[in-house]
Amino acid sequence: MSATITLPVWLFTLILLFAAVTLASHFLFPSVRWYLRRRAERVVARLNQRLERPIQPFKLARRSDMIQRLCYDPEVTRAIVEHAREYGVREDVAFEQARRYAREIVPSFSATAYYGVAIRLARIFSNALYRVRLGYQDEAALAAVDRDATVVFVMNHRSNMDYVLVTYLAANRSALSYAVGEWARVWPLSFLIKAMGAYFIRRKSRNALYRRVLARYVQMATQGGVAQALFPEGGLSLDGAIAPPRMGLLKYILEGADLSQRDVVFVPVALNYDRVLEDRILLAAGAAGTRRFRARISVVAGFAIRTFWRRLTGRFDGFGYAAVNFGPPVSLRAHPGLAADADALAAEVMQRIAAVVPALPVPVVAYVLGHHGPLTRLQIMQHVAQRMDGPDLPPLHLPGDDHSSAVESGISALLSRRIILERDGICSIAPDQRPALDFYANSVRHLF
């Protein structure tokens, strides 16, 4: 037992390495995970005291546990069997496919990442680019929503800034769980997005197994009371107008709703901008008749660097106004007919979104010029004042308290981008810029 054993240095090093890994995995890592878990629980407890809607336990469940629960769900199991039969593969192969889908979909929410990093970055980024305004919201109706209800924020989709802006402005309401497209599945962006509680979806997938895994996750989140944020249009608006809704996620939510246990409340959210960052890309995609966006990383990086440099040198005044309005919520318990009719629910929610779209200076001036032709600044002001004083129209988000300031702001923005021209005191649409003018006018055209 006391004999000396001689070992090569490489083997001794390897033994020490295995011993260190065993010590860490069996003793150190569990202790560290326990400590971090307890700390995270204290952070969530403090957050829930000030949030309108507390963070639900479902959202805080360990990602590995959630993946297992999803994979062994009876409906997913049936879909696995059907997938194996349809494609002629073994059931264990189909099960692994379902597990890969579950890993892709299920987020790993971190309250520290969401409230310590994401909210702060969203606030800084939003205010650096825009004059942010939180406009109309029915405070009484929103406050009356059952605290235990599942709240779904349903929004029009103008820009990828929508995620940032709503995350910032809804920070005191709850931690939102977004459904994000495949554009976000790039490292390291995907890691941050999952840590914020968002989940990826393949919008064009027709795979029945994938659809069932996605549906069950959305339904479990709905039953668990997770606050969600959806863009029912399914993608960015190519012409600036509100597009017809797609029914996928809305149907999943309705199928998973158990109103005897928990109400589901849809909150319409309308966004608008004086400048949409991707407007030229969206217009090009619309003109091509495709949703393929030609946004090279070099172009995006160049735009970001130029904007940052202009801000450092004091030559950047921002991109105008960005505003969010919250419409009156729709409770499924209060409207049982909508709970059984996804099409009627979608139509009602989209109508409420359209009714509260913010009327900002650039869209309103664009509408007036596009509708009435070349005008002087005074004539534009008169048309704006006449239309914005209508009895049922939302208020214009003004830089001051008068229409003239808003008109000047809108005209200046359109002139600086050469969408309109001014000669001899007459403002008119620049050659070949009619699509750009209509892109902004379309966002408020339905209001008039």
Tokens of 248: 């996928």
222-281 pLDDT tens trace: 998 888 888 988 888 999 999 898 888 889 999 888 888 899 999 999 999 999 988 888
Indicate the fold that domain 361-445 takes in CATH.
Answer: Sec63 N-terminal domain-like fold (1.10.3380)
Q: Are 269 and 326 in contact, with CB atoms under 8 Å apart?
A: yes
123-152 pLDDT tens trace: 888 888 898 888 777 777 777 888 888 999
Backbone angles phi, psi at 321, to 5 degrees: -95, 145
* Alpha-carbon gap, residue 350 to 341, rounded angstroms: 14
* Segments in the chain below pLDDT 70: 1-2, 23-41, 43-44, 47-48, 182-192, 194-195, 291-304, 388-402
What pLDDT, on the 0 to 100 scale, is given for residue 383?
A: 85
Q: How far is CA 43 from CA 118, 148, 169, 371, 389, in A?
A: 15, 20, 21, 53, 47
As a whole number of Å, the end-to-end CA separation of the chain is 94
**DSSP classification of residue 131:** E
Residue 344, amino acid: A
Stated pTM of the model: 0.83
Which of 57, 180, 47, 38 is closest to 115 using CA atoms? 47
Residue with tokens 């969600």: 228
What pLDDT, on the 0 to 100 scale, is given for residue 346?
A: 92
What are all long-range contacts of 188-193, with beta carbons under 8 Å and residues at least 24 apart? Answer: 192/113, 192/117, 192/118, 193/107
Instruction: Check whether the bond before 245 is cis (ω within 30° of 0).
Output: no
* 361-445 has the same fold as 54-275+319-357: no
What pLDDT, on the 0 to 100 scale, is given for residue 299?
A: 60
What pLDDT, on the 0 to 100 scale, is given for residue 24?
A: 65
- Reported as type and span, the H/E element at residue 133 is strand 131-137
Which of 433, 418, 427, 436 is closest to 363 using CA atoms? 436
Options 3.30.1360, 3.40.1130, 1.10.3470, 1.10.287; which CATH number does 54-275+319-357 get? Answer: 3.40.1130
* Alpha-carbon gap, residue 205 to 211, rounded angstroms: 8
What ranges do the domains of the chain cover? 1-50, 54-275+319-357, 278-317, 361-445
